[in-house]
Each structure stands twice: as C-alpha cells, then as structure tokens.
Amino acid sequence: MSISWKDTGTKSFLDLRGWIIRRPKSCVNEQTIASTKKDIDEDPHISVRELSDTNGLSYGTVHTNITEYLRMKKVCARWIPHFLTVDQKRERVRCATELLNMFEPHGPKRFSDIVTGDETWLPFFIIPPKRLNRMWVEGQGDRPAMLRPGFQSR
C-alpha cells in the first residue's frame, strides 16, 4: 500500500485529513493469483469475502482473479441419498421384480397389504444448508456428488 496526498483544493498542506491510504492501482498479478489459487486448493468451500480478508485484496479483485484468470466457478454439490454398489443395485431390482410378480395376479390394491414398519422419523443429524456445500471448480467441471449421511432428518 502507498500513502499519497489527495489534493483538497482550499485545504492547507498541513491538514492531515488530506492524506489517504491507497492500494496500488493494479493488484492483479501473478503473486495474488497464485495466492488465491493456493487458498482455494486448501479449502474449495472458501468464500470470496474470506479470500479478500486473508489476502488483503478487495472483493472485486479476488472475484476477478477467480473468474477471469483462474477460470473457476462456484457450484453446489449434488445430493444423492446413498452410493450403491453394482451388487446392491442388482439385489434391489431382484427384490422389486419378485414383489411385482407376487402381487400381479391380485392387482395393484394388494400392495396396501405390504407392511413396511414404523414410520417414525428419527433426527440423527442436521443436514447443512445447500449454500455450505458450494465449492469452486475449474472451467466446465462437473458438480461433485455429496453423500447425504444417515437417515432422513424430517
């Protein structure tokens, strides 16, 4: 940062309110871009505001570094209920086909005879808001998949 004198016209030279602290005109250079990239690599969920506070740069400069020079964008992770192996998927299809074959002769009303168990909702965890799952990805990168842990929290 540099200290410079701002001409105030009628104010005298000794008036200290005329002295202002300014940032250099160009804060976009290889050093600031590399610093921003390093911080994003360490924490892809970091916000532009946090980056500007840690690097001592303005919000606009950091945003320009990320979007124009690093060609990154911030996206939300896709929530999926669970990751299934191929064997688990096959077993689900087999069970569903078996149930359909078992109740097909009696019509769709027989499905109401299936006992599924208690429908009590158990709050084992709190799902974080979607905005906390946002992360920086490069260019046209795919949205990362995020496993939704445990049971549903309704």
Cα–Cα distances in Å, from 98 out to 45, 60, 84, 114, 137?
45, 59, 20, 13, 43
Domains along the chain with CATH numbers: 2-80+128-147 (1.10.10)
**pTM attached to this predicted model:** 0.49
In order of 32, 53, 57, the CA distances from 35 in angstroms are 5, 12, 11
Q: What is the pLDDT of residue 153?
A: 42
Rounded distance between C-alpha atoms, residue 90 and residue 84, angstroms: 10
With beta carbons less than 8 A apart as the criterion, state whether 52 and 59 touch: yes
Least confident window among 7-11, 49-53, 92-96: 7-11
72, 40 contact by CB (below 8 A): yes
User: Which one has a higher pLDDT value, 69 or 9?
Assistant: 69
In this predicted structure, what is the pLDDT of residue 89? 86
Instruction: For residue 81, count other CB atoms closer than 10 A to its CB.
Output: 8
The tens digit of pLDDT for each residue in 97-127 reads: 887 787 776 666 666 666 555 555 555 545 5
> Closest by alpha carbon to 40, among 2, 81, 74?
74
Per-residue pLDDT tens digits for 19-77: 555 555 567 788 889 999 999 999 888 999 999 999 888 898 899 899 989 999 888 87
Tell me which of 35 and 143 has the higher pLDDT. Answer: 35
The pLDDT-based confidence of 154 (bands split at 50, 70, 90) is very low
- Eight-class DSSP state of 9: T
Supply 24's token pair: 């250099």
